[in-house]
Chains A and B, each alone.
Chain A
Amino acid sequence: MDNGREQNETFIVPIGPQHPALKEPGHFEFSVDGEIVQSATARLGYAHRGIEKATEERTWVQSQYILERVCGICSHIHAVAYCQGVETLAGVEISPKAMAIRALAAELERIHSHMLWLGVAAHEAGFDTLFMYTWRDRETVMDLLEGLSGNRVNYSVNLLGGVKFDVSPELKEAILKGVDFLEERNKHYLDVVTGDEAFLRRTRGIGVMSDEEAERLGAVGPTARASGVARDVRIQAPYAAYDIFPVELVIETDGDLLARFVVRIRELFESFRLIREIVNNLPEGDLTVRMPRKVKAGETVSRVEAPRGELFYFIRSTGQEMADRVKVRTPTLCNWGSVLTTVIGHQLADVPMILVGIDPCFSCNDRMIRLRSRDGDRSWTWEDLRRYGIEYYR
């Protein structure tokens, strides 16, 4: 195990699969020269659970709960994408009230996800105080979610055909109060993030990605919006209640880590405004609509805006009680290219910050993707996979 004892030999620093910088397992290898990163590789798949396969053996109703647990932080939006897709296939239209409550829960989830991210990013920079305070204030939105749905994580607000829970007048008061408190606190955090000189030195000019690069690397979500790419599914392809309650685009052009912070905090303000509007103007309607047990045959694509970017579901039905194929493409998978490219040339100390800047969610991430190389399509059968696994560990 000679570790760079010769001159000028680059030295590989592994981050993961178990590392305090990562909240979930993933393996990265950065070859550094002194403290400057020369190249980076990633290996994912540690959190693969076979969820897409599991949906093929469960009924439409049961699959929703499996898909909700793809990710803990953005669980509701996965359920929304799935339910939307299945409702489109079945030709069912849900009531405006159910759509509004879906959007309300989605925005509350966005708040909780962004505040969680703010704390984690501060922790990676070594600013533990900001971490503790943002997570303390995040408890407010967790209490609101608990009041709405009865659970702090995996809210299960959706049903095929609508939602389960309604917004009572007490809950409405609690939501308005909570949102006021959170808005005040987040204004303070925006000042801290953009004003604190030591923190700015860790985030300004780090991980710069221009808008052409962002488009080329396929970045989505706040990571792309921080580089000036104007893409937000809620605006370009409105779903749930976003056509009645429109969202404004939050965009920055600097493309560095500071811009990503600013975009996410400004998105929080947008969410606060939207929640107030929804709660004060909740449309009338039933909570649920009757859904058939067997969904008509067909294929559909369902796109939603998760807190991390564009979430994409492909659902295919053959008229049975069980799904034929559900394919999930999560936003974090698209953003890895930006990390591996922008990290080159930076110090080792910036690497965790750039990693966390895309808001990585590894458990969302682990899917099978099919790569088409120039010399044809190489796909593997079950036998190929098993054999590869056995050989790898020998």
Chain B
Amino acid sequence: MSTLVDLFTLLIFPGGLMLGIAALAYEWVNRKLVARLQNRIGPRWFQPAADFVKLLAKEEVLPEQVVAGLFYMLPIIAVAGVFTAALSVPMFGAQPASSYPGDLVVTLYLLGLPTMCLGLAGSNTLGRFSLVGATRALTQFFSYEAPFMMAMLGPALVAQSWSSTEIVAHAGGRWLLLSQPIGFVVAMIGLLGKLEMPPFDAPEAETEIVAGALTEYSGRGLALFHLAKDAELVIGLALIAALYLGGGSTWWMFLLKTLVLLLFLAGIETLVTRLRIEQTVGLWWRYVSMLVLVQWVVTIVWEGLLL
């Protein structure tokens, strides 16, 4: 019986199918918000789903001189990594499928898998644009990962636990946003960097390197990479809502909180121009990591954790 329950949780709700549908829905909301902020209409509700279905139906072109196994497996690994990461995150008002001490760290590591698959995919395809895109993706990965993790682990310091369910329970509906505002801001910007959204979309800068690491991907592989990125968006928002906004005890609270966060993300997306890759790295290593360190020091001193 419990195997069936596990399978259900894994494949239908809250993982698997539900996550897939939510990923496409959140992508639509993001595109619609950005469009409305730019005074235009934006796509209709079924656009991301239509894109996904259409890409699955198209022929997948294998470039010359690539390692075919890697080429086909990397999108699948990326999706698998993201969907596995969803197992420990409280989403849609339900308890996560598996929560154990340290699951927050595991989630954060698994969320880094799509970026690494992207970098590997770009280097594998050996196209000029793909190589530049892969280099930029990995460079950006090294710059935002540390501050982002530290920002996500700020609430963990307070709860003295590395398990996200325990952090939510410890907060007990309290909004850690108010006591760790810098951490919240860093977490939001870090999510933008992780998802390669503007202003940190140098790895997939359309006007410079066509599509970056994904230039040579088409058909199924591209559909899966896009799905992985959208699912990352949902999980990232769910994590930030859980850690900083007190979690969502019911599905509509969850929806409300994550959509408000998405509105902020869309706002930042539209307001700022794309940064060059060395400006991104400079920004993260010079300013943001200092900020998050300051936040940690303040939290530690404030909570008296040194005692």
Chain B binds chain A: yes
Interface positions of A (Cβ within 8 A of B): 1, 3-4, 11-14, 19-21, 35, 122-130, 132-133, 136, 196, 198-199, 201-202, 347-352
- Closest CB of chain B to A123's CB: distance in Å? 7
Interface majority SS (helix, strand, loop, mixed), chain A? helix
The one of B37, B129, B131, B205 that contacts A129, using a Cβ cutoff of 8 Å: B37
Kindly list chain B residues whose C-beta atoms are within 8 Å of the C-beta of A19.
210
Look across to chain B and name the residue whose beta carbon is closest to the beta carbon of A12.
Answer: B128
Given contact pairs A4-B131, A122-B273, A352-B207, a sample of 6 additional A-B residue pairs in the complex whose CB atoms are under 8 Å apart: A3-B127, A3-B128, A12-B128, A126-B198, A126-B205, A136-B39
**Among the interface residues B126, B205, B273, B274, which one has the most CB atoms of the partner chain A within 10 A?**
B273
Can you sample 29 A-B contacts with CB below 8 Å? A3-B127, A3-B131, A4-B131, A13-B128, A13-B209, A14-B128, A20-B206, A20-B207, A35-B278, A122-B273, A126-B201, A126-B205, A128-B38, A128-B198, A128-B270, A129-B37, A129-B38, A129-B271, A130-B273, A132-B38, A132-B39, A133-B39, A136-B39, A196-B273, A198-B199, A199-B273, A201-B276, A348-B132, A350-B276
- Closest CB of chain B to A308's CB: distance in Å? 20
Cβ of B40 under 8 Å from chain A: yes
Kindly list chain B residues whose C-beta atoms are within 8 Å of the C-beta of A125.
273-274
- Closest CB of chain B to A234's CB: distance in Å? 32
A21-B270 CB under 8 A given contacts A128-B38, A129-B38: no
- Closest CB of chain A to B173's CB: distance in Å? 36
Cβ of B65 under 8 Å from chain A: yes
The one of A35, A124, A198, A352 that contacts B272, using a Cβ cutoff of 8 Å: A198
Cβ of B138 under 8 Å from chain A: no
Look across to chain B and name the residue whose beta carbon is closest to the beta carbon of A5.
Answer: B126
Look across to chain A and name the residue whose beta carbon is closest to the beta carbon of B274.
Answer: A126
A35-B277 CB under 8 A given contacts A3-B126, A198-B199: yes
A349-B270 CB under 8 A given contacts A21-B208, A126-B198: no
Kindly list chain A residues whose C-beta atoms are within 8 Å of the C-beta of B210.
19-20
Interface positions of B (Cβ within 8 A of A): 37-40, 64-65, 126-129, 131-132, 198-199, 201-202, 205-210, 270-279
- Closest CB of chain A to B259's CB: distance in Å? 21
* A1 adjacent to B126 (CB under 8 Å): yes
* B38 adjacent to A126 (CB under 8 Å): no
Look across to chain A and name the residue whose beta carbon is closest to the beta carbon of B38.
Answer: A132
* B208 adjacent to A351 (CB under 8 Å): yes
- Closest CB of chain A to B112's CB: distance in Å? 23
CA distance A201 to B272 in the complex (A): 12
* B208 adjacent to A348 (CB under 8 Å): yes
Kindly list chain B residues whose C-beta atoms are within 8 Å of the C-beta of A123.
207
CA distance A61 to B207 in the complex (A): 41
Kindly list chain B residues whose C-beta atoms are within 8 Å of the C-beta of A13.
128-129, 132, 209
CA distance A136 to B273 in the complex (A): 18
* A201 adjacent to B279 (CB under 8 Å): yes
* A124 adjacent to B207 (CB under 8 Å): yes
CA distance A26 to B235 in the complex (A): 42
Kindly list chain B residues whose C-beta atoms are within 8 Å of the C-beta of A3.
126-128, 131
* B273 adjacent to A202 (CB under 8 Å): yes
Kindly list chain A residues whose C-beta atoms are within 8 Å of the C-beta of B129.
13
Kindly list chain A residues whose C-beta atoms are within 8 Å of the C-beta of B40.
132
* B208 adjacent to A349 (CB under 8 Å): yes
* B205 adjacent to A349 (CB under 8 Å): yes
CA distance A3 to B272 in the complex (A): 34
Kindly list chain A residues whose C-beta atoms are within 8 Å of the C-beta of B209.
13, 348
Kindly list chain B residues whose C-beta atoms are within 8 Å of the C-beta of A201.
275-276, 279
**Among the interface residues A11, A13, A349, A350, which one has the most CB atoms of the partner chain B within 10 A?**
A349
- Closest CB of chain A to B202's CB: distance in Å? 7
The one of B37, B38, B202 that contacts A349, using a Cβ cutoff of 8 Å: B202
CA distance A123 to B279 in the complex (A): 18
CA distance A3 to B134 in the complex (A): 14
- Closest CB of chain A to B250's CB: distance in Å? 35
Kindly list chain B residues whose C-beta atoms are within 8 Å of the C-beta of A35.
132, 277-278
Kindly list chain A residues whose C-beta atoms are within 8 Å of the C-beta of B275.
198, 201
Look across to chain B and name the residue whose beta carbon is closest to the beta carbon of A131.
Answer: B38
* B277 adjacent to A126 (CB under 8 Å): no
Kindly list chain A residues whose C-beta atoms are within 8 Å of the C-beta of B65.
1
* B208 adjacent to A127 (CB under 8 Å): no
A347-B276 CB under 8 A given contacts A126-B199, A126-B205, A198-B199: yes
- Closest CB of chain B to A141's CB: distance in Å? 17
CA distance A198 to B272 in the complex (A): 7
Kindly list chain A residues whose C-beta atoms are within 8 Å of the C-beta of B205.
126, 349
**Among the interface residues B39, B201, B206, B277, which one has the most CB atoms of the partner chain A within 10 A?**
B206
A198-B208 CB under 8 A given contacts A11-B128, A129-B37, A133-B39: no
